[in-house]
Structure 1
Amino acid sequence: MRSINLFLVLFVLSVSCFAQEKANAAISPVKGAKHIFRYTNPITRDTAISMRDHCIIKVGDKWYCTGTSNPVWTGPNPGVRLLESDDLIHWKQHSWIIDAAKLPADCPYNGRFWAPEIHFIQHKYYLTVNSGKVTKEDPKGMKTHSVWLFVADKVTGPYKLVNGPLTPQYNNDATLFEDEDGQTYLYCSGNGLFQARIDLNIGKLMTPIQKFLDKKQPGWPEWMIGGIEGPFVVKKEGTYFMFFSTWTRGYEVGLLKSKSPLGPWELASPNPIFGTRKKGYRPELAAEGGYSHLKFQDTPDPYSETGHNALFIGPDGNLWNSCHYMMYEKRPYPYCQTLEPWEPMPQMGIEPVTYKDGMFYIHEPTWTEQTVEY
């Protein structure tokens, strides 16, 4: 009996060692072998860390993400959440880099904390936050909602206020861009898209904030007329590209291009380069906005929203896209019609980005397992 038990122990140990050797080979493949990254959207499926407007930044061997925390529409939210991941798949909360509960009563930016972003520029981490002051008369802080700038030496903070509000009117969805000559620029939304040059050290705009694109710009396509927001700028081969989102037909991402960081901007593609379209989603907005007449086909994905994107460095060292994915309650096969608790809430989605012949492309929204070799 003892010999049988010893045999079983040795057998189990040998199998475990073999499995461990295979696992190690997958983690550290031999020279010439490819790395394999597998992902299935939505990446997060958790009500506790649900966010909109995901913005991911890679620092060392880790990825960090911030975004708009719930509640989004009904009033103030808890602050600016920072998520952390070692593998881009499993995410956990690191901290609140702005905790609304710890702000003084007279704080002028204690509102909804929409669409924060973190950018590493000139050896520091700059955080843009869009917020206003909540009062009895203005319970959502929308009358004073604008852009605030914070800075830290580490991505995890602590973040110190540089200046704000940066603009004299309602603005939202602020983003930053540093050019090759060291000049920095602020872009934001607010019933259109805005731009200005900014000195990050003092948090002051060096040019007047300029609205350069309206959602109903004459001669521009109808898929923009519901609203445009969420700019994000990168530079490639001497051309500036601005990604932006529109909610006219669901939630889609368009792309502008320019030879200058302050324009003039033109469409890089006559159609959105990414997103989801659903005729039955938010029809009341289409009726109210006067664009229910638009004709289009639903995309086959199970999402009602895939938008407000930002780019980041992915596992293969290339650019990837991040944004929030929301499941569509009238989604087609193979899903049942009953939503799980996490599904009506915005969750993180990621896709690879490619650049070819002077144009950026984003993999269409996926919902089955994807494999990337590099």
Structure 2
Amino acid sequence: MMRNQLMVLFLIFFSVSSAQKNDTAKKLKTNEAEKVFKYTNPITRDSLLSMRDYMINKVGEKWYATGTSNPVWTGPNPGVKLLVSDDLIHWKFHSYLIDARKLQEDCPYNGRFWAPEIHFIQNKYWLTVNSGKVTKEDPKGMITHSIWLFSADKITGPYKLVNGPLTNQYNNDATLFEDDNGDTYLYCSGNGLFQAKIDLRTGKLTTPIEKFLDKKQPGYPDWMIGGIEGPFVIKKEGTYFMFFSTWTRGYEVGLLKSKSPMGPWELVSREPIFGTRKKGYRPELAISGGYDNGQFTDTQDPYEETGHNALFEGPDGNLWTSCHYLMDEKRPYPYSQSFHSWEKLPQLGIEPVHYADGKFYINSPTWTEQIVPLKK
């Protein structure tokens, strides 16, 4: 009798234990299935965090972002901001990498701080800043606007000036690229796209700065006519790819490729690989012959600018793109009846980057919730 009772108790315990194990296994399986990253653009919706030309770096378990601070067009801006996030969604101000208020009056780079970028090369962080000297004759510092190079041991600084200006002409939107053999290259804009080799240790160009692509390059499409800027270079499967932006009919991203870091470069696609376009963005270009006299269809997104991109490591360990998303004033943000204050300024936008068949792809700019699976 006792043996039978013990057997019954054992069976009950085994059944409960098995059920608990199965329930735990189901929960684990469910948790695994729920490992996703959810985001809705624009990521930031805050006037204080607003920047143009966002560039993101992942360092450890954090993401850091910099960009062109406001005001952009009306005069000197406050300096180079650094934002930080633990999850790529919630951002906060970290510090000024360059605080314009602390610069000497005769500082040669105290004008507009446009399109700063940070690159980790040779175990150091290299900051490129585009600026010039403010004078009574040139209150915005545009006459001497060029590239300045700084370095630091940590992404948060402090950054020390290495050299500048790197060129003796107007240049902007500088970016750096290190090749597999350690050679480093500088790319920038300035009424076209330019390139040169650079010695980061001294901050000096080792080849002459060379213009390799004009906005009105013969044989190139009309969507480049308004202007080209914001180069960003990456190497994949032995091919060098250069992302660049144009503001002819919105803000669109084009893609070049080459078998050499110094070109010759050619378009990967005759059409932009990413961006927004609206007929009302720059109508004067349609009148003067830009973008095929307006023979294109507006994109359905609520933006008028999604451009000047840079790549970074995303939450899934893959490449993502960042840039500024500026709302279309004629299209209040979806689900809203009015224009919010943050919509008047550019905000951070991000999207996954895909690579297939020897090309990079980016899906159209999004404005609804996106769900991306994470690596298990």
Asked if TM exceeds 0.5, the reply is yes
Partner Cα distance (2:333, 2:118) in 1: 37
CA contact (8 A) 2:332 2:338 kept: no
Residue 100 of structure 2 is aligned to residue 100 of structure 1: yes
Matched with 1:350 is 350
Q: Which residue of 1 aligns with 2:320?
A: 320
Q: Which residue of 2 aligns with 1:279?
A: 279
Q: Please tell me the residue identity of whatever aligns with 1:90.
A: H
**1:212 maps to what in 2?**
212
Change (3 A) 1:292 1:259: closer
Deviation sequence 1:333-363 (CA, Å, 0-9, x none): 8455631100010000000000001000012
Q: How many residues align?
A: 349
Match of 1:254 in 2: 254
Per the TM alignment, residue 175 of structure 1 is displaced from its structure 2 partner at its CA by 0.2
Deviations 1:81-120 (A, max 9, x none): 0000000000000000000000001000000000000000
Query: Aligned pair in 2 of structure 1 residues 29, 103: CA closer, same or farther (>3 Å)?
Result: farther
Which position in structure 1 is the counterpart of 2:54?
54
Q: Corresponding residue for 2:17?
A: none
CA contact (8 A) 2:192 2:229 kept: yes
Please name the residue that 1:296 is paired with. Answer: 296
Q: Is the contact made by 1:226 and 1:286 (CA closer than 8 Å) also made in structure 2?
A: no
Name 2:19's counterpart in structure 1: none
1:87–1:130 distance in 2 versus 1, CA, 3 Å: same
**Alignment partners' CA distance in 2, 1:274 and 1:290:** 19
CA-to-aligned-CA distance 1:188-222 (integer Å, 9 cap, x gap): 00000000000000000010000000000001111
- Residue 364 of structure 1, CA deviation: 1.0
**2: distance between equivalents of 1:110 and 1:289?**
38
Q: Secondary structure at the match of 2:129?
A: strand
What is the match of residue 120 of structure 2? Answer: 120
Separation (CA, whole Å) in 1 of partners of 2:32 and 2:45 = 35
User: Partner letter of residue 108 of structure 1?
Assistant: P
- Which of the two has higher C-alpha Rg? 2
1:281 positional shift: 1.5
| Alpha-carbon contact 1:302-1:327 (below 8 Å) kept | yes
Structure-2 separation of matches of 1:316 and 1:232: 21
Amino acid at match of 2:217: Q
Cα deviation, residue 284, structure 1? 4.0
Counterpart code for 2:339? L
How high is the sequence identity, in percent, across the aligned residues? 78
Q: What is the SS of the residue equivalent to 1:48?
A: helix
Q: Secondary structure at the match of 2:101?
A: helix
Aligned to 1:42: 42
TM value normalised by structure 2 = 0.90
- 2:230 partner letter: G
Within 5 Å, give how 1:23-172 maps onto structure 2. 33=33, 35-172=35-172
Report the CA distance between 1:295 and its aligned residue: 1.0
Query: 2:333–2:339: 8 Å Cα contact kept in structure 1?
Result: no
Q: How big is each residue's C-alpha offset from its partner over 1:244-275, in whole Å with a ceiling of 9 and x where there is no partner?
A: 00001110000000000000000011100000
Partner residue in 2 for 1:264: 264
Residues 222, 292 of structure 2: 8 Å contact kept: no
* CA displacement at 1:329 relative to structure 2: 1.1
Structure 1 segments (4+ residues) deviating >2 Å: 28-34, 282-292, 332-338
- Equivalent residues of 1:119, 1:176 under 8 A apart: yes
**AA partner of residue 348 (structure 2):** M
My pick for the range that moved more, 289-298 or 168-177, is 289-298
Verify: 1:186 aligned to 2:148, yes or no.
no
Structure 2 counterpart SS, 1:223: helix
Structure 2 CA distance for partners of 1:291 and 1:221, relative to 1, 3 Å: closer
1:18 is aligned to none
Residue 286 of structure 1 deviates from its aligned partner by 4.9
Q: Distance in 2 between matches of 1:290 and 1:263?
A: 27
2:330 corresponding residue in structure 1: 330
Q: Deviations over 1:130-180 (max 9, x none)?
A: 000011110110000000000000000000000000011000000000000
Equivalent in the alignment of 2:14: none
Q: CA RMSD in A?
A: 1.8
Report deviation, 1:289. Answer: 7.7
**Quick one: distance in 2 between partners of 1:306 and 1:233?**
18
1:340 aligned partner: 340
Contact in 2 for aligned 1:54/1:348 (Cα 8 Å): yes
| Distance across 2 between alignment mates of 1:318 and 1:334 | 29
- Asked if the contact 1:29–1:35 (Cα under 8 Å) also holds between the matched residues in 2, the reply is no
Q: 1:32 to 1:43 in 2, by over 3 A?
A: closer
Per the TM alignment, residue 283 of structure 1 is displaced from its structure 2 partner at its CA by: 2.3
Q: Do the aligned partners of 2:225 and 2:290 also contact (CA within 8 Å) in 1?
A: no
CA contact (8 A) 1:330 1:337 kept: no
Unaligned runs of 5+ in 1: 1-24
Q: Is the 8 A contact 1:226 1:289 kept in 2?
A: no
2: distance between equivalents of 1:289 and 1:96? 42
